[in-house]
Copies of this chain bind each other. A is one copy, B any other.
Amino acid sequence: MSRATSGAARADRLTPGARRILAVASELFYRRGIHAVGVDTIAAESGVTKRTLYDRFGSKDGLLVAYLETRDQRWRDLLGEHLAAVGDDPARRVLVPFEVLPEWLGESDRGCSFINAFAELPEPEHPGRQVIVAEKKWLRDLFHRELTAAGAADPDQLAVQLLSLHEGAVVSFAIADESHAAEAAHAAAEALLTAAMP
């Protein structure tokens, strides 16, 4: 795996073949893990030659970054839609990630693709790591922003607490088989928020 390629390619500007490759790779990386899936398999299941895969994405790492970036975008888009729907009240907006969670978790039992990818990418300089870390920090910052706007006490600490609740719910759902982890986390977030409001 070479370390080339920015994940520059926007998902919408992909060629038909590239779109299929990315779709197949996303499914396989998420379902089976990154190291467990070979480029030969991805190419074959995409109905494409390996040459095409390398022409479009440069390397397995390039394809991996594209996978993480599109997954990140999908998550932010979903959250964005719900945020737009609930309006301007920051005390309501801060709970939106918890409201979305059941829907997001219902798609699979494989947990969070970013947490999983983190497990397979130990090198801090790996380009995929930046996407992973940015995703978690983005959510924490979203919490922090809304908490501050809501006038909650100690938004720094509360943002980290909400982030932990959120990520932990995903883990508990996938690993401990806790089907109501999202609802429980939602209730806890609500309680912590209420206690922090003036």
Asked whether A118 lies within 8 Å of B122 as measured between CB atoms, the reply is: no
A116 in contact (CB, < 8 A): yes
Beta-carbon contacts under 8 Å, A144-168 to B: 157, 160-161, 163-168
Q: Are B31 and A122 in contact (CB under 8 A)?
A: yes
Q: Of B31, B35, B163, B175, which is within 8 A of A118 by CB?
A: B175
Give the B-binding residues of A (Cβ under 8 A): 31-33, 35-36, 110-111, 114-120, 122, 132-133, 136-137, 140, 157, 160-161, 163-169, 171-172, 174-178, 180-181, 184-185, 187-188, 191-192, 195
> Which residue of B has the minimal Cβ distance to A109?
B124
Contacting pair A176 B136 (CB below 8 A): yes
- Check A160–B177 contact: CB distance below 8 A: no
Given B114, B163, B174, which contacts A172 in the complex, CB threshold below 8 Å? B163
Please, which residue of chain B has its CB at the minimum distance from the CB of A124?
A: B109
Interface core residue of A140, A163, A174, A187 (most chain B CB under 10 Å):
A163
A116's nearest neighbour on chain B, judged by CB, is: B119
Question: In the bound complex, do residue A122 and residue B32 qualify as a contact, i.e. CB atoms below 8 Å apart?
Answer: yes
Are A188's CB and B175's CB within 8 A? no
Question: How many copies of this protein are present in the complex?
Answer: 2
Chain B residues within 8 Å of A117, by CB: 119
**Inter-subunit contact A176/B36 (CB<8 Å):** no
A177 to B32, Cβ gap below 8 A?
A: no
Q: Is there contact, CB below 8 Å, between A164 and B181?
A: yes
CB-based contact B136/A164 at 8 Å:
no
CB distance from A171 to the nearest CB of B (A): 4
Other-chain residue from B35, B160, B177 in contact with A133 (beta carbon distance below 8 A): B177
Q: List 22 A-B contacts (CB under 8 A).
A: A31-B122, A35-B35, A36-B120, A111-B118, A117-B119, A118-B119, A118-B174, A119-B119, A133-B175, A140-B172, A140-B178, A157-B184, A157-B187, A160-B180, A161-B165, A163-B168, A164-B169, A164-B185, A164-B188, A165-B168, A191-B191, A191-B195
